[in-house]
Amino acid sequence: MAAKSLQLASMAPTVRRGATRSSPVDAPSLGPTAQGWRERYLRYFGVHSQPGPDAVRRARVMVIACHGAAVLALLSAVIRVGLGRTPPLGFWLMLGVVELAMLAGPFVLKLTGSLRAGAMFPIVATATALPLISVGSGGLDAPVFGVLPTIPMVAALFLGARAAKYLALVLMVEITVMGLLFSSGWLVAGVGAPPAGKALLFCCYVAVMAFIAVTYEAERTDAEAKLRVMARELYESSVRDALTGAHNRRYFVEQLERDLAFCARHGTPVSLVALDADHFKQVNDTRGHAAGDAVLVGLVELLQANVRTEDVVARVGGEEFVVLLRGTPLAGAGVAAERIRRAIEAHQFEHDGQRFRVTVSIGCAVAIGPSSTDELQHRADQALYRAKRSGRNCVVLADT
């Protein structure tokens, strides 16, 4: 069948292509005021200067955990004094060490920029001081011992698995030695808190640890949400043309292979529309490459506005584009192509205060049943070449 040039008087209604852009995933929020205060507080200690999202997340948790533990230590002392169980001087000295270590950790992070250095001092100081604090607050029965199992877990988070193993071993040895010393009478436990006081202290510990755990989970969720957005943006950048936003040749070929496989299995047609901007080199030469870029962006916008949402618009060359029409026979592809041609012919492109028009030549081909990607592209290209030889600004259907 000879190639046919289409001159259609009436076109089908225009269907605007829906834009599919990745929207940012909102991080867990505490409200505008609270969220802003927390971010300024964490930024002051250099949290956001950490390399990578995981390091930032752990640094955020470290700063909050240190200050939460400092509050816990102070609250513990206040409760003990309020219960009338004033511990000996050694208790206050060790408590002071813990308090200073917790307050100093975030500042070490700020000064050194090292998460490991910032976490090392509070963790080691706490692991050393807490067993000694228990001497003046009830011995091995002191509520402070309830905090010890969490130290290796915290060390694993900030210092790594090896440090957590060594620290757990040191703590077990230290507790065993203290148990032997208490049993032999070398150490005498101070007066512990009454049962109600112990229950209150344990509740304080649980509340602070729950607060740290919830903070960690919020930071983890936030980091995962940002990673999902980054992954989606990375994927989009790998399958889309950077200038126009249309799909690139790689995505087009992969989608064409899938559609042809579907076509061969179910016998449905797949049409390919190939178009090329007429005399595009003259636009670049006379108006500049910026004007040429504006034309390419405008062409993609017009293409997407005049095809269906499920159709694929791709840029496969400098000024060469294709539209993949799944489930569309050759006649339907011709109608869509003529609608596109007329929309582009009627459009006034604008750049640097100047208006001008651009036309396109279009070739259409269809596959029904088994067909290769190269064969379909070749027939669409041949139809496009015939359109150019026929005077440009027209639509030509390939032989079936």
Domains, the chain, ranges and CATH? 32-234 (no CATH), 241-397 (3.30.70.270)
Report the interhelical angle of 53-82 vs 150-159 (nearest 10°): 150
Residue with tokens 């200690």: 45
Q: DSSP letter string over 294-322?
A: HHHHHHHHHHHHTS-TTSEEEE-SSSEEE
Is residue 287 over pLDDT 80? yes
Angstrom distance (rounded) from CA 34 to CA 220 = 19
Is residue 142 over pLDDT 90? no
Query: 21-26, long-range: CB within 8 Å, 24+ apart, which pairs?
Result: 22/229, 22/232, 22/233, 22/236, 24/229, 25/225, 25/226, 25/228, 25/229, 26/225
Identity at 310, one-letter amino acid code: E
pLDDT for 35: 66
Residue 329 is encoded by which pair of tokens?
């026979």
The structure's pTM equals 0.55
Is the CB of residue 281 less than 8 Å from the CB of residue 387? no
Lowest-confidence region among 115-124, 144-153, 178-187: 144-153
Q: What are phi and psi of 67, to 5 degrees?
A: -70, -35
Lowest-confidence region among 13-17, 110-114, 258-262, 294-298: 13-17
Is the CB of residue 164 less than 8 Å from the CB of residue 155? yes
pLDDT for 23: 39
pLDDT for 21: 38
Lowest-confidence region among 60-64, 246-250, 339-343, 395-399: 60-64
Band of residue 13 on the pLDDT scale cut at 50, 70, 90: very low
3-state secondary structure of 241: coil
- Rounding to the nearest 10 degrees, give the CA dihedral for residues 236, 242, 244, 247: -40
pLDDT for 227: 84
Residue 238 is encoded by which pair of tokens?
């790998």
- Mean pLDDT computed over 194-199: 72
pLDDT for 86: 65
Q: Is the dihedral of CA 155, 160, 164, 166 positive or negative?
A: negative
Q: What are phi and psi of 5, to 5 degrees?
A: -100, 130
Q: What are phi and psi of 389, to 5 degrees?
A: -70, -20
pLDDT for 113: 87
pLDDT for 82: 77
Is residue 25 over pLDDT 50? no
Per residue in 63-118, pLDDT tens? 888 887 788 778 877 877 777 766 677 778 888 888 888 888 899 898 988 888 88
Q: Please provide the size of the chain in residues.
A: 400
| Beta-carbon contacts of residue 303 (< 8 Å; ≥ 6 apart) | 17, 246, 313, 321, 323, 340
Is the CB of residue 72 less than 8 Å from the CB of residue 205? yes
Q: Which has more pLDDT, 6 or 142?
A: 142
pLDDT for 30: 45
pLDDT for 129: 80
What is the Cβ-side half-sphere exposure of residue 341, based on CA atoms within 13 angstroms?
30
Band of residue 261 on the pLDDT scale cut at 50, 70, 90: very high
pLDDT for 193: 64
Angstrom distance (rounded) from CA 6 to CA 329 = 15
pLDDT for 400: 65
Is residue 19 over pLDDT 60? no
- Mean pLDDT computed over 140-159: 78
For residue 314, CA distances in Å to 43, 336, 388 come to 43, 16, 20
**Could you tell me the strand order of the sheet in which 395-397 lies?**
4-5, 395-397, 360-367, 270-277, 320-326, 312-315
* Pairing status of strand 360-367 against strand 395-397: parallel
